[in-house]
């Protein structure tokens, strides 16, 4: 299949955000440069893993080079509207381009098989799944990590007994032997 790679080299904006209410949120990665905006749907757990691995990569670079890589200003704006989903993320790759001093993040649509996904990640192959490839300065990457953690934490509060997310109506808590636990009033 013919492949489309959305490449953003030092975009004006690269963020994660959500649409919907806690418990029903849809997560997105969004890159924009001028009037060009690309949004891809992503799972909450994938955002969490991306933030963790990105932070680890930056910490490794600091350790190897001895150069501090502080965070840039935190982008707190909502996702650009309207959101037109290009694809749902299936696989991701992360790399450090030592020559340019940039972080490379690639999010890829589902591939025909695992071999194809592995073969096409971070490659400019003509065939394969569509991909979003972003090259970021380290300070912007640190800001992405901070925002991602805030977006994830903005979801439903955890049950103090079992740690599972509480809906507004509560939930069936395994620690209460299946009895319904109601959500405490916000305050």
Asked if the model's pLDDT at residue 97 lies above 70, the reply is yes
Do 129 and 108 form a contact (C-beta atoms < 8 A)?
A: yes
Residues 25 and 102 in one domain: yes
Residues 89 and 145 in one domain: yes
- Per-residue model confidence as pLDDT tens digits over 41-79: 999 999 999 999 999 999 999 998 888 777 788 888 999
Count Cβ atoms within 10 A of the Cβ of residue 143 and give its class: 0-12 exposed, 13-18 middle, 19 or more buried: buried
Residues 145 and 169 in one domain: no
What does the pLDDT average to over 81-96?
96
C-alpha to C-alpha distance for 128 and 3, rounded to whole angstroms: 5
Residues 146 and 185 in one domain: no
Residues 106 and 186 in one domain: no
Which pLDDT value is given to residue 187? 46
Residues 41 and 113 in one domain: yes
What does the pLDDT average to over 170-184?
67
Cα–Cα distances (Å) from 106 to 78, 89, 93, 117, in that order, read 22, 10, 5, 12
What does the pLDDT average to over 146-164?
84
Average pLDDT of every residue of the chain? 88
Residues 142 and 73 in one domain: yes
Residues 133 and 163 in one domain: no
- Looking at per-residue pLDDT, the higher value among 112 and 91 belongs to 91
C-alpha to C-alpha distance for 146 and 75, rounded to whole angstroms: 9
CATH number, domain containing residue 126: 3.30.2450
Domain count, the chain: 2
| Domain encompassing residue 186 | 159-187
In the structure, what pLDDT confidence band is assigned to residue 99 with cuts at 50, 70 and 90?
Answer: very high
Residue whose C-alpha is closest to residue 50's, from 164, 146, 154, 155: 146
Which pLDDT value is given to residue 123? 83
Which pLDDT value is given to residue 168? 66
pTM given for the model: 0.82
Residues 124 and 91 in one domain: yes
Residues 114 and 37 in one domain: yes
Residues 93 and 176 in one domain: no
Asked if the model's pLDDT at residue 161 lies above 70, the reply is yes
Strand 13-19 to strand 180-181: parallel, antiparallel, or no bridges (unpaired)?
unpaired
Do 130 and 5 form a contact (C-beta atoms < 8 A)?
A: yes
Asked if the model's pLDDT at residue 93 lies above 80, the reply is yes
Asked if the model's pLDDT at residue 82 lies above 50, the reply is yes
Instruction: Beginning with the edge strand found earlier in the chain, give each strand of the sheet holding 13-19 in spatial order.
Output: 13-19, 26-33, 36-42, 85-88
Residues 44 and 115 in one domain: yes
């Amino acid at each position: 299949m013919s492949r489309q790679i959305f490449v953003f080299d030092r975009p004006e904006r690269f963020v994660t955000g959500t649409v919907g209410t806690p418990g029903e949120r849809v997560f997105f990665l969004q890159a924009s440069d001028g009037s060009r905006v690309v949004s891809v749907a992503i799972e909450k757990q994938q955002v969490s893993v991306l933030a963790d691995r990105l932070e680890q990569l930056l910490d490794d670079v600091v350790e190897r080079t001895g150069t501090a890589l502080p965070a840039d200003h935190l982008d707190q704006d909502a996702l650009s509207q309207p959101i037109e989903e290009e694809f749902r993320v299936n696989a991701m790759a992360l790399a450090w381009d030592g020559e340019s001093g940039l972080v490379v993040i690639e999010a890829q649509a589902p591939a025909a098989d695992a071999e194809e996904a592995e073969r096409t990640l971070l490659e400019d192959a003509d065939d394969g799944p569509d991909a979003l490839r972003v090259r970021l300065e380290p300070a912007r990457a640190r800001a992405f990590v901070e925002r991602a953690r805030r977006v994830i934490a903005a979801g439903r509060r955890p049950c103090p007994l079992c740690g599972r997310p509480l809906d507004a109506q509560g939930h069936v808590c395994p620690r209460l032997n299946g009895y319904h636990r109601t959500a405490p009033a916000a305050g």
